[in-house]
Every structure is written in C-alpha cells, then in structure tokens.
C-alpha cells in the first residue's frame, strides 16, 4: 500500500542524496514518490532525473503518469511520445499514448497508436476494446463490433468489451443481442450501474416490467451505496 512506499522513500532518500550521480537510485526514489501518491515530490524528482537522463523511456513514462495526475494531459502525452520514440516496442507505451490522445479528442492519432500497440502485441485485448470504443465515438458501428468481438475473444473477462457491445447493439435496436452482453458486463462487475441501467431500459422497452423493475432497483441501490461513501478530505495536488 501507500505506507510501504512512503517507508521506502524514507529509507532510500538519504542514500540517493549521498549518491547524486546514481540515476538508478534516483529513479527508484522518484517512482516510490509516485506510488505513495506524493505527486509534487514525484514531479520534481522526475523532472530533475530527466535533465540527467533525457533518453530514458521509463523516466518519460513515469513523468507522463505524474503530469496526468495533475490533469496536464497535453504535457503527459508529450512525455509518452518521447518514450515511444525512444522505445517503440515498450509494452503499453503506445496504448497509454493512444488513451491520452483519445482524451484530447485526437481520435486519428489515438487510432494510430492503438494499432501500433496491436502490431507490437496482437493479443493486446485492451487496445482492441478501445479501438471499438473509439469507433463507437466516431460513428463506425461495423468497425466497432469487429474490434469489440475480437477483444472479448482475446479476454472474455474484459468488462468494457461486453459493455460496449451491449451499448452498440442497444443503439442499433438489437435488444436481443444487447442483453447477454450487458448481463456479462454486470457479472464481471456487479457494481457497474450503467450496465444495469441499460438493461432496465431495454427490458422496459420490451414490456418486461418485472425485469425492468428489478434492474432499476439495483441501479437505485448502487446510487444510494455510492452516496453513503464519505468523501475523503484530501486537497488536490498543487500545480
């Protein structure tokens, strides 16, 4: 947990201070800052380390992760771009870059990077799923179905693939096809109230009152449970 990484920082920091040229140790300290949610310290540490080791793909990736915590998505994408240029076959680097591009609504760039991840790893189910999600966003239903089916075949427990297939089928009026996909999504994650809500609406449209009522009751219960969770009094990280 967070505590063990904070303890690791406390143990490692004196050694890192005593060995200012030890990039490996400095990297380990910076990573522990990130993993212990000490984001300001992590940001400073990675930026210092990058000046000493500008060609390290791992440093660019973790600096990108830290910047993303602050909502600095454009800058985070820039760090992942640098990592991808230096290590084009690093696992997940293109996927992560694609995800950031999609958040920036740079959909063509996102598609290219998801495809590159699949080129590196044809079994990368998440890239298939997010390509399907991207195709839904850009109104390409046939392409979406192809990628989502492939994602579900690669990883049958990938909730997003089943949920997005359910959404895709429901949007096309294919309720009979949507139901089993949405049911699988809630089996994989019973707290997924969006899937329960979609099921409720489909049952309602089909005149299946009892089933619709049961799903709406689950949605209501999940919302109430969510409202009961106390908000943590945590200040957002300072920029």
Q: What is the mean pLDDT of the chain?
A: 92
If you average pLDDT over residues 113-137, what whole number do you get? 98
Report how far residue 118's alpha carbon sits from residue 131's, in angstroms, rounded to the nearest whole number. 10
Question: Residue 228: pLDDT above 60?
Answer: no
* 213 pLDDT higher than 60: yes
Per-residue model confidence (pLDDT) at position 226: 73
Q: Which fold has domain 152-228?
A: 1.25.40
Q: Where are the domains of the chain?
A: 152-228
Dist CA 49 CA 103 (whole Å): 27
Note the pLDDT of residue 227: 67
pLDDT at 237: 37
Overall average pLDDT of the 162-188 stretch: 97
- In angstroms, the CA 67 to CA 133 distance is 25
Confidence of residue 236 (pLDDT cuts 50, 70, 90): very low
pLDDT at 238: 39
Residues with Cβ < 8 Å from 177, sequence gap 6 or more? Answer: 169
Instruction: Kindly tell me if the per-residue pLDDT of 239 is higher than 50.
Output: no
Look at residues 90, 101, 85 and name the one whose alpha carbon lies nearest to residue 124. Answer: 90
The pLDDT tens digits of the residues spanning 30-83 come to 999 999 999 999 999 999 999 999 999 999 999 999 999 999 999 999 999 999
Segment 70-98, tens digit of pLDDT: 999 999 999 999 999 999 999 999 999 99
Q: What pLDDT does 181 receive? A: 98
Taking residues 195-221, report their average pLDDT. 96
Burial degree of 90 (CB within 10 A; 0-12, 13-18, 19+): middle
């Amino acid at each position: 947990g967070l505590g063990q990484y904070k303890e690791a920082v406390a143990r490692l920091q004196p050694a890192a201070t005593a060995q200012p040229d030890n990039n490996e140790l400095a990297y380990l300290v910076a990573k522990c800052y990130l993993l212990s949610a000490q984001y300001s310290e992590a940001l400073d540490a990675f930026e210092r380390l990058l000046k000493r080791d500008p060609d390290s793909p791992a440093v660019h990736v973790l600096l990108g992760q830290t910047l993303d915590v602050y909502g600095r998505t454009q800058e985070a994408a820039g760090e992942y771009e640098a990592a991808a240029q230096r290590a084009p076959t690093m696992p997940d680097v293109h996927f992560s870059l694609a995800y950031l591009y999609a958040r920036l609504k740079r959909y063509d760039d996102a598609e290219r990077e998801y495809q590159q991840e699949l080129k590196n790893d044809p079994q990368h189910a998440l890239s298939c799923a997010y390509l399907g999600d991207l195709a839904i966003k850009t109104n390409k239903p046939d392409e979406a179905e192809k990628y989502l089916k492939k994602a579900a075949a690669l990883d049958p427990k990938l909730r997003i693939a089943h949920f997005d297939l359910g959404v895709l089928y429901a949007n096309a009026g294919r309720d009979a096809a949507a139901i089993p996909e949405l049911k699988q999504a809630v089996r994989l994650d019973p707290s997924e109230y969006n899937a329960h809500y979609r099921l409720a609406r489909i049952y309602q449209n089909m005149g299946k009152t009892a089933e619709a009522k049961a799903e709406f009751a689950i949605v209501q219960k999940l919302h109430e449970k969510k409202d009961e969770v106390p908000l943590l009094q945590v200040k957002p990280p300072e920029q």
